[in-house]
Amino acid sequence: MMQRSALPNGLRIVSEHMPGVPSVTVGIWVESGSRFESPHLGGISHYLEHLLFKGTARRSAAVIAEEIDAVGGVLNAFTGKEYTCYYARVLAEHASLATDLLADLFLHSQFDPAEIDRERGVILQEISQSEDTPDDHIHDFFNLRYWPGHALGLPVCGTSATVQGLGRDEFLRFMATRYRPDRIIIAAAGDITHAALTAWAERDFGSLVGTADLATGAPPRPHAGIYITEKPLEQVHICFGSPGVSQASEERYAAYLLNTALGGGMSSRLFQEIRERRGHAYAVYSFLSSYRDSGYFGIYVGTSPEWVEEVLSVIVRELAVAAREGLRPNELARVKNQLKGNLLLGLETSDSRMSRIAKNEVYVGRDVPLAEIAARIDATTNDEIVAFASRLTDPEGRAVALLGDLGGRSIDPSLLAA
């Protein structure tokens, strides 16, 4: 059962007790990510995430690593466009160590200038690695061109230029501005009680003060087009996108089901047509990039240069078929079961449960019980799927990014027409 409470300073606490599970995962979530960065601070949220592991007044970076390793636990963090999470997963008997470590690094990190400079090199290597991994880099490339000039279009890691310009003062100011109690959620799942979690939050975080604005400006406006970057690669990496749904949209269940049917597994339409029948790709999938007020429906394929136009034609054709007909009755029943099965199987661990309840708090402000999700999936009609798919056929909202060796040739824009 999920429980929720809040401290007088606005900090929220959510937990799910999982009897019989040997682990506990505790996370500190901050409603702050790359969307809240000005252009010259690009990547500061991600950089800050790295720095919180580099030493406190009580522990060096090495001691932090040694303490969590000594109990076989995991201490990590991740940064997204709209949130950052610091978390620890340990056996339940070591929960007090996990919470002590998290509070120490979150509240008492030193930001040693030497560590800042050292970690700068690590992050620059991370950026370079992404650029050298085309099936990852194509997504950043697409975002930059689909949502130009908007913070949601910028890479979470920033750029080499912005990372080079960040120093200790910028980190301290950003943290003082964004890491305020009304933007912090403490989430836990596993063998831990809500009372114990709340007592820890009150003791270590109850004295935090201040507020942070959650206003994120207008949602991004999609820019249709075909965007090509020539690079000497064996494959051409394709990212195709159309306007999608926000995290809390009423259309999200239709979007989930269409995504599953089109590119959500080996039985999906695009996988079967592009890989199995034509042999034109190894990797092909669809996905939803959804945020607080916007999102897009995306499709990725890695293929040979000579098959690019054919693959794009297949994508456009399958979207048009979905917009006209939706899903066949047996297909709709199958993807509903697939989606429910994927959801439940993905929630077998304490860390996945912790993430689920925290994201619900971030985006909808309440727990969304699994039974409610299953019921909404089951209740989604084919007409709703057709309505959502119809939005994906508007050429004015479509874009495709191509990364690879096209030999200088262009792609006929009429290929994107429904």
Q: Which of 32, 403, 415 is nearest to 216 (CA)?
A: 32
Phi, then psi, of 293 in degrees rounded to 5 = -135, 10
pLDDT of residue 215: 75
The full DSSP string for 288-335 is EEE-SS-EEEEEEEEE-GGGHHHHHHHHHHHHHHHHHH---HHHHHHH
Same fold yes or no, 2-205 and 225-416: yes
pLDDT of residue 1: 82
Paired strand residues for 289: 296
In percent, the amount of the chain with pLDDT more than 70 equals: 100
pLDDT of residue 172: 97
Span 76-97, average pLDDT = 97
Q: Is 72 exposed, middle or buried (0-12, 13-18, 19+ CB in 10 A)?
A: exposed
Distance CA 341, CA 375 (A): 13
Span 396-410, average pLDDT = 96
- Tokens 């200038």 belong to which residue? 113
Q: What's the chain's average pLDDT?
A: 96
Q: What is the pLDDT of residues 323-361, one digit of tens each?
A: 999 999 999 999 999 999 999 999 999 999 999 999 999
pTM here is 0.95
Domain boundaries, the chain: 2-205, 225-416
Phi, then psi, of 405 in degrees rounded to 5 = -100, 95
- H or E element in which residue 161 lies: helix 160-164
Q: What is the pLDDT of residues 180-204, one digit of tens each?
A: 999 999 999 999 999 999 999 999 9
Span 14-19, average pLDDT = 95
pLDDT of residue 340: 97
Show Cβ contacts of residue 354 under 8 Å, excluding neighbours closer than 6 positions: 16, 25, 26, 27, 87, 187, 188, 189, 190
Residues tagged active-site: 49
Q: Rounded to 10 degrees, what is the CA torsion of 81, 342, 268, 390?
A: -50
10 Å Cβ neighbour count for 40? 12
pLDDT band per the 50, 70, 90 thresholds, residue 417: confident
Q: Please report, for the chain, how many H helices and E strands are present, in that order.
A: 15, 11
Alpha-helical segments (H) within 179-229 = 194-205
pLDDT band per the 50, 70, 90 thresholds, residue 418: low
pLDDT of residue 217: 84
Distance CA 271, CA 264 (A): 8
Is residue 216 predicted with pLDDT exceeding 80? no
Q: What is the pLDDT of residues 105-138, one digit of tens each?
A: 999 999 999 999 999 999 999 999 999 999 999 9
Q: What is the pLDDT of residues 272-311, one digit of tens each?
A: 999 999 999 999 999 999 999 999 999 999 999 999 999 9
Q: Which fold has domain 2-205?
A: Cytochrome Bc1 Complex; Chain A, domain 1 (3.30.830)
Structure tokens at 163: 């990372």
Span 39-45, average pLDDT = 96
Q: Which of 59, 11, 3, 26 is nearest to 351 (CA)?
A: 26
Q: Which fold has domain 225-416?
A: Cytochrome Bc1 Complex; Chain A, domain 1 (3.30.830)
pLDDT band per the 50, 70, 90 thresholds, residue 65: very high
Distance CA 67, CA 49 (A): 19
